[in-house]
Amino acid sequence: MLKLVLAFFDEGKRGLANGIYLKEIEKMPIRDRISRAKYLKEEEIEKIDLIREDLVKAMDAMIEKGGLGDA
């Protein structure tokens, strides 16, 4: 769980550095999946890595879509 929170923090910093607005980062649907990860059962723990991969992909898509250049 902490691994996901720290990954979101790191990806958020990367997004901000690439011109993504904080409001857009706060609205990311992946945040719900991260917050629900604390309810994962022991045998579902590998889903944490999948959520992290989805987080990176979502941030990549936001950066590719555009940041400050489109402001």
Q: Does domain 2-70 have CATH number 1.10.357.10?
A: no
SS3 of residue 19 by DSSP: coil
Quick one: tokens of 39?
């309810």
Taking residue 9's Cβ as centre, other Cβ atoms within 10 Å add up to 10
SS3 content of the chain, % helix, strand, coil (to 5): 80, 0, 20
Global pTM reads 0.85
pLDDT per residue as tens digits for the range 16-51: 999 999 999 999 999 999 999 999 999 999 999 999
**Residues 60 and 27 sit within 8 Å (Cβ to Cβ):** no
d(CA 50, CA 38) in angstroms, rounded, equals: 14
pLDDT at site 67: 64
